[in-house]
Structure 1
Amino acid sequence: MDADLFVGDGGLDPPAPASAREVWRARLNRWHPRHWRGSLKARLALGGLAALLLGMSLTVWWMVESAEQDTLVQAGRHEQAEATRTALSLGRRIDVMRHALGALAPQIEADMVNDPRRMGQFLEHQAVLRGLFSNLFVTTPQGRLQVYVDPLGMRTPATDLSDRPYFQTMLRERRSVISGPLSGRVAGEPVVVFLQPLLDASGLRGSVGGALRLTSRELMADLAQATDGAQDITVIVSNDDGQVLAHPRRDRVLAPLADEPGLAAAHARWVAAGRPAQWTDDPQADDATHVIATAVDAGSGWRVWRMHDRAALLAPLREARLRAMRSSAALAFLLAGAMMAFLAWQLRPLDALEARAARLLQGDAEGDWPEADGEVGRLSRTLRHVWAERRQMEDFNAQVLRKLGSVMSAAPVGIAFTRNRCFELVSAEFCKLLGYPEYALLGQPTVMIFASPEEYEGLGPQVGAAFAAGEPYVGEVQLRHQDGRVFWGGLRARPVDPYDSQAGTIWSVNDVSEQVHSRRQLEHAAMHDPLTGAMNRKGFERALSFEFAGQPASRPAAVVMIDLDHFKPINDTAGHAAGDAMLVAVAQAIGSRVRGSDTVARIGGDEFALLLPHCDHDRALVVAEKVRQAITDITLDWNGLPLRVGASLGVAELGAQHENVAQWLEQADAACYEAKRSGRGAVRSARGTLRVVGSGS
């Protein structure tokens, strides 16, 4: 069992202090942050702190969120009530103003309308009406302004009101009217006009009216302020067409209500809802920046809008949430500290168990294991049992290693145990075979004993395939001795555990250089002509089969068949020894005119052949001509007698039309025969001019 089981991240505790002062110093040292970092106590405390913070945060968030929702709902109800109350108050005041004008009309005598001076004096004494209106005026039945009284005094402006829609309505219906918002022709400011007809038995004798300046601090301006004194509440009055009649900002008077910042989206929702008389916007809408309510005065059709700033409304709750979060965090840290102290007290047996395990790893097997209840007690008993089993296992392993060492020392072959591509165990014979001392191999990568890294990497897939098939690997590979000498090693490998690739591999190695050399000599003799050293027919046919099987990647390739001319007379006149010497000279001449990758073969008595891989037809013809000329240039001096030969050559390029190797050779033979028949000493091509004759013809 790995010793890491008993080692914590903080390392081993120091040995027990000898003095009381050192005891207290050690106890205080346990509270140093480096001993808590990464410990179970710290993780539990941090987990508890995170849980407390999360729980408190969620609780505070949920409470404040609920409070915000309730506050918005209550604010919506309050604003609706206030808007309704304001609309009723506005209606009552409009009624008062209309009734005041209605009560004034009978007091105006018929001849007073045509006497501006007398009429002006009369109006100047109407203190109540002058307090209700910005100005008072009287017109003739034709709409000409007779007298105009305002805080600046009495005037008689030459102004005609006959084209005003409200005046025409009064003429047509003979009743009191209230105009829409318009620009006053005398004062030049936005006004709303109240107009009362002057009627008697003879008919209409004129009209009396009063105007409210919408930008002055009179009735409309007073209504446009926050009625309960709050600075974050805005009250706006509009007519039923959505035109602002009163606003805290004078520049907004007569502007479209739909352009009002903070009110535009709510106004669109009110229009979509069918323009109800009383209406409260959804205070939790995504685009809501205000709590908005509206109510209408049925008599005038004027509408009161109340806007309560949502951010200002919720600011106390959000401030309370921030304070609560801070308090929760402080409380959570205090509780986490208390939890850490409690955990330290509860986990004292675990600290004692850790110290006991540390002493075991230092070789101190004496002493008692700490006693405890619960999980720590069970852990202590488990570790004590594991330690006993480990002692038994170590004793058993020591015996096995001693026996294994004896076996490896007596083995006549080199034995090595490898794991993770490194040597973990090597025998004396293995070290002797490779010339390394044992210490120079243990722990080192296994690639160091191979002739090349490429050969080492190529061995891996072969070993893996053998192990996957449930068989040991057996093979030969070139190894490198410590002095640099390369030799052939016979390898045999078997996994320690077929089902666990990490368990390692057992290797046996012996020197098989002599066997490999002998085998290769036999293989060479079986494939080569002993006289000329060129490849024999068997070897040549194997090379042709390999080239043929590699199609189409192996194309272009060509075969050249060579038949010597005038060779038989040499044997007849000079003897077979001279013929053999000539064959050797011919083989050398052919080899001098071809590439190292080309194959030169003697396939019969005086018949030679060439395999030209990666050589097209035209290039093959050039090579054949060079070979023919080299053979023709041979002059062999034999006992004072010059001997010469010629050659006839046939060339056949490998193509898709060839069904097998025999057909390819047959075509080259036919071309060679054609060269011989046409007079010898020539090169003929089989492409396009010769018919390939099958074996059945």
Structure 2
Amino acid sequence: MDADLFFDDSAPAPASTRWQRLRLALTGWQMPPWLGSLKLRLMVGSLAALLLSLLGVTALMAYHVEQGILAQAQARSAAEVSHAAEQVGQGLDRMFDQLSRFAGSVPASAWNDQDRLAATLAREVLPQSPMSSVFAGVPGRGNWAYADTAGTRRLETQADDLAVVQQAVDTGRPMLSPPLRGRISGEPVVVLVHPVHREGQVVGVIGGTLRLASRDIWASLQALPSSLQGEGWFLTDGAGRLLAHATRERVAGSMVDDAGLSAAWQHLQQTGSSRAPVAWGDGATLHAVATVPGHGWLVWTNTTRAELLAPLHQARHWVLLEAAMVACGFTLVLGAFLRWQLRPLHRLERHARAMLAGETRGDWPQADGEIGRLARTLHHLWAERTQMESFNAQVLQKLGSVMAAAPVGLAFTRNQSFELVSEELCRLLGRHQDDILGQRTQTIFASNEDYAALGPMVAAAFASGQPYSGEWPMLRADGSRFWGLLRARPVAPEDPAAGTIWSLNDVSEQVAARRQLEHAAHHDALTGVVNRQGFEGALQALFDAQPGSRPASLVMIDLDHFKPINDTAGHAAGDAMLVAVAQAIGSRVRATDIVVRLGGDEFALLLPHCPHERALGVAEKVREAIADLALTWEAHTLRVGASLGVAELGEHHESAAQWMAQADAACYEAKRQGRGRVRLARPELKVMQGGR
């Protein structure tokens, strides 16, 4: 109920209220000396500044040290993966060299004797190789020699149906397969294939398998010292398929499908792979990767930042603890010094408390510097306060007399609360003055929505330099409501915190009379339904709202045999029949439909959201209801009928008048064809003057 009530304002209070607040602060709640003293605040401020400085310096130093540690770890990781990649490459080269040497030592006749070839593999290749099995054969032949730790055998399935075997035959170069399911062991393996050349042709193939799950591929390749093996080291092929991992169950899986590794793989793909080692950090983890020379495999290592920085964080914790102890000691020394320096100020505080409590003490402390100037200022303020309190008492007495004599409700509001109210305002609201003072102004409004809407209106009026005036539903103490005329003017337009003066009048009777006049202007006095003026406004509004207002239909109604009732039974009987017809029409339509009396014996129906098919049904029910009417009048039974025309609103209608004319034409056609029927408007129908 106040312009300043629709937002909290923190503007400085007037001088007249500062003394009251200061007195309440000093004579009401007593702050403990150790909590509210200046020296404590200085000590706390000094301690906070010292601690913040120490924290800032420590944090800055820790940041630079962390960056140095991470940079060193990144360089070290890059060197380690590079060395491991070289070792993996050398291990693979050794196995290919062993296969090549064996291929060169096998006579041509041995390739036709699979048993002899298998025995040679078991004797000369398998014992000296880290491979778990070896095989050899001629491409295109069904029997291949095979040897593993269990012995020798012939492969029932052709080994050259492996894609890697076919690639080695086609290219004539050694090949490495991606991780495969072992044909004999059933576990993930990698197949090494070396073609055997004779006179420029590939006459055979020799190969072997490295088991990935049951054997340690790092040890097989002699690539990674045991001191470096751990959860962070793993080996993949060029497509990101895991060949070696500390968790054996993850072997042969893809980095793309691994939640912990997919981000590193995506980063490598986005930045572009390289034969040079690459190292980077992604926030929580340091990654490093290097390509195995000549074979396309990748050696990876992941190290968490927490693991790298754990010693630094522990050291930082102890440094901060020691710094806090030093700061506390410094603060205690500072507190003792401040206590000695501020003793004169404590004596001045005691005199100020006595002054505000109304006690007179002549022994004001005499001092130089800031304390002396403060003592003289307080003495001057005491004299001004006494004079101001006397003046305020006189003003409040006069204002109370004015408000008591005013014939309208008056109120002064500030900070969203009532501070002064008149007796007339209390009477209008049905409340006692003590029940209003100090309460939120929102409590007298009929709804929270009204209160929220009032705020912008008041603010806009005050901003334009005008007072506010408006009618709003108000709430009495017993829950009843009345319409009130609110007027408002700010105490000081330039200072919203100064408050607002409001007046309130009960205008419920005026509002009710105005609404009755508005209702009478748009409704038929006899039947109570909408009149022609109201109908034309609703019809035009529905027409203007197209296409969203479609479908909609209009029904024109003309009573049959009504004139004889007026002629024989009198106009009173005719009026009674018109009232009965209006009630019959209203009983057959929806609450959203509009029943209209156009004048005389002409009625209409406006049916929103109603296509013509449904409107024809409604019209037929209305026709039946009118035909069923039987009005008893002076021992006579009076009856009427009705002819009805229906027209649906469409794109072809150029105006609301044209829409109404088509419905009128349909009504005329119903009358012309024998009355007492319903007809749908057609484009060719025309209204004939005097047709009725």
TM-score by length of 1: 0.53
2:415 and 2:497 in contact (8 A); partners too: yes
Q: How does 1:491-640 map to 2 (within 5 A)?
A: 491-640=486-635
Code of the residue aligned with 2:625 in structure 1: it is A
Pairing 1:41–2:39 present:
yes
Q: Distance in 2 between matches of 1:45 and 1:464?
A: 46
**Bigger Rg, which one:** 1
The code of the aligned residue for 2:41 comes to R
Equivalence for 1:338: 333
Asked if 1:408 corresponds to 2:403, the answer is: yes
Matched, 1:432 2:430: no
Instruction: For residue 43 of structure 1, report the CA deviation from its aligned partner.
Output: 3.1
Contact 1:617 1:653 in 2 (8 A): yes
Give a deviation string over 1:94-120, Cα, whole Å, max 9, x none. xxxxxxxxxxxxxxxxxxxxxxxxxxx
Alpha-carbon shift at residue 259 of structure 1 (Å): 8.3
Q: CA deviation at 1:673?
A: 2.6
Determine if the alignment matches structure 1 residue 473 to structure 2 residue 468. Answer: yes
One-letter identity of the residue aligned with 1:399: Q
The residue aligned with 2:90 is none
Q: Deviations over 1:544-571 (max 9, x none)?
A: 3444455555444333221112222222
- Compare 552-561 and 433-442 and name the one that shifted more: 552-561
Q: Relative to structure 1, is the Cα distance of residues 328 and 474 closer, same or farther in structure 2, using a 3 angstrom cutoff? A: closer
**What runs of 5+ residues in structure 2 fail to find an aligned partner?**
1-16, 62-221, 229-315
The one-letter code sitting in structure 2 at the alignment partner of 1:507 is W
Distance in 2 between residues matched to 1:357 and 1:644, nearest whole Å: 98
Does the 8 Å contact 2:26/2:353 carry over to 1? no
Partner residue in 2 for 1:674: 669
Q: Which residue of 2 aligns with 1:356?
A: 351
Q: Which letter does structure 1 place at the counterpart of 2:387?
A: Q
Distance, in Å, in 1 between the alignment partners of 2:605 and 2:60 is 94
1:341-490 correspondence to structure 2 within 5 Å = 341-364=336-359, 366-367=361-362, 369-490=364-485
For 2:520, give the aligned amino acid: A
Is the 1:528–1:536 contact (alpha carbons within 8 Å) kept by the matching residues of 2?
yes
Which runs of structure 2 are paired with 1:2-41 in the superposition (5 Å)?
2=18, 3-5=20-22, 35-37=33-35, 39-41=37-39
Residue 57 of structure 1, CA deviation: 9.9
Q: Secondary structure at the match of 2:599?
A: coil
Equivalent pair of 2:553/2:608 in contact (CA under 8 Å): yes
Q: Distance in 1 between matches of 2:612 and 2:640?
A: 26
The alpha carbon displacement at 1:592 in A equals 1.6
CA-based RMSD: 4.4
After superposition, the C-alpha distances for 1:561-605 in whole angstroms (9 at most, x for unaligned) are 211122222223333222222111111111222233332221111
Offset at residue 438 of structure 1 (A): 0.8
| Alignment equivalent of 2:645, drawn from 626, 637, 650 | 650
Q: Determine the C-alpha separation between the residues in 2 that align with 1:495 and 1:48.
A: 46
Deviations 1:26-54 (A, max 9, x none): xxxxxxxx633454312323444566678
Gap change, CA 1:343 and 1:552, over 3 Å in 2? farther
Whether the 8 Å contact between 1:449 and 1:479 is mirrored in structure 2 is: yes
Separation (CA, whole Å) in 2 of partners of 1:626 and 1:595: 12
- 2:636 is matched with which residue? 641
Contact 2:553 2:611 in 1 (8 A): yes
AA paired with 2:596? Answer: A
- How far apart, in 1, do the equivalents of 2:688 and 2:494 lie? 57
Distance 1:359 1:490 in 2: 49
Q: Amino acid of the residue matched to residue 583 of structure 1?
A: L
Alignment of 1:249-328 (within 5 A): none
> Quick one: structure 1 residues 672 and 486, their matched pair in 2 at CA, closer, same or farther if it must change by over 3 Å?
same
Correspondences of 1:189-268 after superposition (within 5 Å) = none
Contact 2:426 2:433 in 1 (8 A): yes
Deviation string, structure 1 residues 334-357 (Cα, Å, up to 9, x no partner): 543332122112122332333333
Taking every aligned residue pair, what percent have the same amino acid on both sides? 63
Structure 1 residues 597, 462: CA separation in 2 closer, same or farther (over 3 Å shift)? farther
What do residues 51-96 of structure 1 show as CA deviations (whole Å, max 9, x unaligned)?
Answer: 6678899999999xxxxxxxxxxxxxxxxxxxxxxxxxxxxxxxxx
- Counterpart mapping for 1:125-204 below 5 A: none
Query: What is the CA–CA distance in structure 1 between the aligned matches of 2:600 and 2:383, rounded to whole Å?
Result: 84
Aligned to 2:294: none
CA positional deviation for 1:621: 2.5
Task: Name the CA distance, whole Å, in 1 between partners of 2:54 and 2:365.
Answer: 39
Q: Quick check: 1:9–1:38 contact (8 Å CA) kept in 2?
A: no
Could you list the runs of 5+ residues in structure 1 that have no partner in the other structure? Answer: 15-33, 64-255, 263-320
- Which of 346-355 and 366-375 deviates more? 366-375
Using the alignment, how far apart are the partners of 2:390 and 2:331 within structure 1? 48
**Counterpart-to-counterpart distance in 2, 1:513 and 1:601:** 30
The CA distance in 2 between the partners of 1:606 and 1:331, in whole Å, is 103
Following superposition, the deviation at residue 627 of structure 1 comes to 1.1
The 5 A counterparts of 1:42-57 are 42-49=40-47
Q: Which residue of 1 aligns with 2:87?
A: none
Question: How far did 1:6 drift?
Answer: 6.5
**SS of match in other structure, 2:398:** helix
Letter in 2 for 1:637: T
Number of aligned positions between the proteins: 431
CA contact (8 A) 1:10 1:35 kept: no
* TM-score after normalising by structure 2: 0.54
Aligned-partner Cα distance in 2 for 1:365–1:664: 92
> CA–CA distance in 1 between the matches of 2:495 and 2:675?
71
SS in 2 for 1:603: strand
Contact 1:559–1:668 (CA<8 Å) still a contact in 2?
yes
Alpha-carbon contact 1:631-1:647 (below 8 Å) kept? yes
Contact 1:6/1:357 (<8 A) preserved:
no
Indicate the residue corresponding to 1:204 in structure 2: none
- 1:427 is displaced (CA, Å) by 0.3
* 8 Å Cα contact 1:423-1:443 kept in structure 2: yes
Whether the 8 Å CA contact 2:27–2:353 is kept in 1: the answer is: no
